[in-house]
Chain A
Amino acid sequence: MNRRAFLSWGAAGFVTLCSGVAVSLGAVVRFLVPDVFYEPPQVFKIGNPADFPYGPPTFLTDEKIFVFRDRDRGFAVASAVCTHLGCTVAYFQSDHHFHCPCHGSVFGPNGRVLHGPAPRPLNWFEVTMTRDGQLRVDKDKTVPSSYRLMV
């Protein structure tokens, strides 16, 4: 084996070794990214419109959403997850604001940040009517806070 062959085979071997290591490391990282989530679905039915009263919003604990029903304007769904660090906000009937217990963020009735470290307003989710007359919420589709479903 001459010098040229040695160097080119050596270089090729080194590159192969490095790419092998890189691919393996990539595979380890990829292995840690789950392909299946055993989590509640993002799209779900929440029941008949008649189940929800007018006035203060209904809090659905498992879904972490507030369902608003307004006599004139219809349904709207707000996320109860604080945009700061993911704590669950509470709706205070006394001042119509959302209060986060973790770091004191306060959101207005339309979800706008009034006070505290939260960087974004609360999310509002699309709510639609299914064929069987139930309300359906899609957490993957955020809508403006003015969005309403008239039933």
Chain B
Amino acid sequence: MSLLALQQYWWMIISLLASLLVFLMFVQGGQTLIYTLGKTEPERKIIVNTLGRKWEFTFTTLVTFGGAFFASFPLFYSTSFGGAYWVWMIILFAFVIQAVAYEFRTKPNNFLGQRTYEIFLFINGALGTILIGAAVSTFFTGSEFLVNKMNLTNIANPVISQWQGPAHGLEAVLNWRNVVMGLTIFFLARVLGILYILNSVDNEAIEKRSFRQLWINAVPFVIFFLAYVFALMLYPGFSVDPENGRIFMEPFKYWHNLTGMPVVFILFALGVVMVLFGIIRPLMNFKGCRDKGIWFAGPGTVLTVFALFLLAGFNNTAYYPSTSDLQSSLTIMNSSSSRYTLVAMSYVSLIVPFVFAYIIYAWWSINRKKITEEEMEEGGHAY
């Protein structure tokens, strides 16, 4: 494969992992609803356990996403993780307390108490989704950094990327579009969390409350999502001249990307329709379709996010733009690993389908029967 084909292949893998991550964040969304959907202790236990059986999938996908980025586009990794470290550290911290919460919530004699761990789960659900959404939105809105590869020759300070803002990534939340994306992901995660709980839990009281919550969360999700997409299509984007690699602002760039890549357009439209269908079906016919929404909204989320990432990286676009210095913006061409590394890693990437297969099988095994109050009382391993 040519270097460009390898760079595109790796951007596809990054996009796929990102889209799976956003779908799997239904765990985070569900965690923000523990007290809203569960009014008694047994009900809360059911919710925590149905989410707890999936939390590792989200966690490992997040780590794989970071690892894949490191392997394929190390300049992004060093620029973003080295520069915008406050936002990434808070995200990481929010995921650390999630792991601690699931493992210690019901352990005897833990000194923090059950409620503290449930608050940890809420913090992870809210901060994790909003900040990841805001961080990903900077792929379209830009960040403040400088990249100078010649700095490697500076013995006193051989740092290629330098962050310009004193807030080191937290300034992302000062851009309204980033906030809108953060809130979109937050409400989407809650909607997916509700649909997942409806699919995996057999409890009338929780189902009844879920129906109400589906309305409450679906409406802001749709409003924020539409606002973001319209702004994305109308704002100028960061374009790359394929001849000389120069970056310039292009009006309606992401709209041009969407119309210039019909397959991506179809994936995006299909994804949006599937998500809406997955939400509307249970709302219109709750009795018959309440547990089927996730089968449409989940894959729909994957398709939509996958298409959005392709819009950010393909068709001569800078996927990590710099607003401090346009020419410092990162593209899949100027920020990738060497050809040798990409080829070697591409062979390794063929192991990923085996991991997917394992996840598919484990998921199917775990969800073969719905979780009930009786099962929680039986004992065995419970979070």
- A and B bound? no
